[in-house]
Amino acid sequence: MITGKSLVGGTWKDGEGTFTSAPVTGEAQTFSKGTPALVAEAAAAAEAAFPFYAATLRQTRAAFLNAIADEIEARAEEITAIGAAETGLPEARLQGERGRTTGQLRLFAEHILHGDYLDRRHDAAMPNRQPLPRPDLKVVQRPIGPVAVFGASNFPLAFSTAGGDTASALAAGCPVVVKGHPAHPGTGEIVAQAINAAREKEQLPAGVFSYINDGGNEVGAALVQAPQIKAVGFTGSLRGGRALFNLATARPEPIPFFGELGSINPVFVLHAALAARSAEIAQGWVGSLSLGAGQFCTNPGVVVAIEGAETDAFVAAASEAAANVGPQKMLTPHMADVFAKGRDQIKGAADVDTILAKDAGPREAAPNVFRTTGAAFLSSEHLAKEVFGPLGLIVAVKDEDEMIAVAQSLEGQLTATLQMDDADMDLAQRLTPVLEQKAGRILANGFPTGVEVADAMVHSGPYPASTNFGATSVGTLAIRRFLRPVCYQNMPDALVPEF
């Protein structure tokens, strides 16, 4: 049952005032707004729980993560029903996302049991070394403290209440305070109930997990600025993320802000691949571009190819494929409005040709495809900005050098893709070192939508793709964000944790 309240230190509490959800189907529900006072209470409870939770055995935290997964699965039908109503996402998509959510919880449980993430190192004492003896040195990764997590609009499960940020922080030994997203508050609460039930089952302190309903910008600001919070995980817009990042770094004690903010995820279609399979690549691109109404952070919004008959054929095939994709619901009315504004800006730009423009109804988006030149792309800053939704821009460059120049001009990206055949190896070898500096993940002959949760995955990139290019929000490396090395010199073994 939905209470409409925030979970603070094990108790469901009202805030001040209410807001109403905006479901795609079904009746709207009323939720009590989160407040800075609730944030302060949750942060204090997290700080009080931290010494105990940080000292728990890995087996204890692994059991907690597995229990959360079990509790989420026990609420599977309820989560799917309310998630579909709130977001308009198909039931199959939500079922898959729920599996990814529980899967990554179990993956982190297994990961910490192995212990490799602790990166334990030992330099034994050398008392007889001349001219000075060496002390005994042990280093091990330790949890940093309470972590704030912001739920994402486009992933109501895998990047929200019990998503990757929460799973990796809890695995590390850090209590978590989640700010729920207003796009799916009911879904967020049910998952919060699951986490709290698991916490009670494993007899962990109440402050290990709290969930604060949305209450506007002041609640997000209060969470980032709470002195007990030691790091932030965020997935969202560049504007909102940058504002929170600035608050995090302006604190008396600056803290790391692990934000994923925006990416156009360019696809470079090289000549031999284009000549051999332009229609196939175009169809795959449109499929990736329009998947889920384009509401993925890895949506491939820009294609770069050398002008000529093969590129013309690609454009025609992409237009035909996009014409066959109907309007889809956006996650929120605001996101639909933002998409429409971004589309209209691209459409009205100089040196941009409209290949396919499709209108859609309220809270909907349909694929739109545009074409421009390499010179225009290089001279226009806004053509390289993300439009969140099913909008594709084809950049026809004049030659290989201009393709390299386009790659060099890019801001940081989550992904970059090479569509290539063996005959394209020389150009690919020129592009790859450039793309290594621009993206966190480079693909060959695929499309970036779909992020595998695995040990080797990197889901980040240079700014503005993320605010910390040395981290990842997906995969087991994500746990490193919430750990720091502590060196123990000449300490008795009984006082050195996890070694």
Residues with active-site annotation? 260, 297
The strand pairing partners of 259, in sequence order, are 234
In whole angstroms, give the CA distance from residue 289 to residue 439. 18
| Straight-line distance from the first to the last Cα atom of the chain, in angstroms, rounded to the nearest whole number | 43
In whole angstroms, give the CA distance from residue 456 to residue 459. 10
370 CB-near residues (< 8 Å, 6+ apart): 346, 347, 352, 353, 354, 355, 391, 392, 393, 394
Q: In whole angstroms, what separates CA 75 from the centre of its chain?
A: 24
Q: How many CA atoms lie within 13 A of 431 on its CB side?
A: 29
CA distances 50 to 32, 65, 78, 259, 372, Å, are: 27, 17, 32, 23, 54
Helix (H/G/I), strand (E/B), else coil: 257: strand
In contact, 395 and 377? CB cutoff 8 Å: yes
Q: What is the DSSP letter of 4?
A: -
Other beta carbons within 10 angstroms of residue 187's beta carbon come to 29
Question: Residue 267 is inside which H or E element, if any?
Answer: strand 267-269
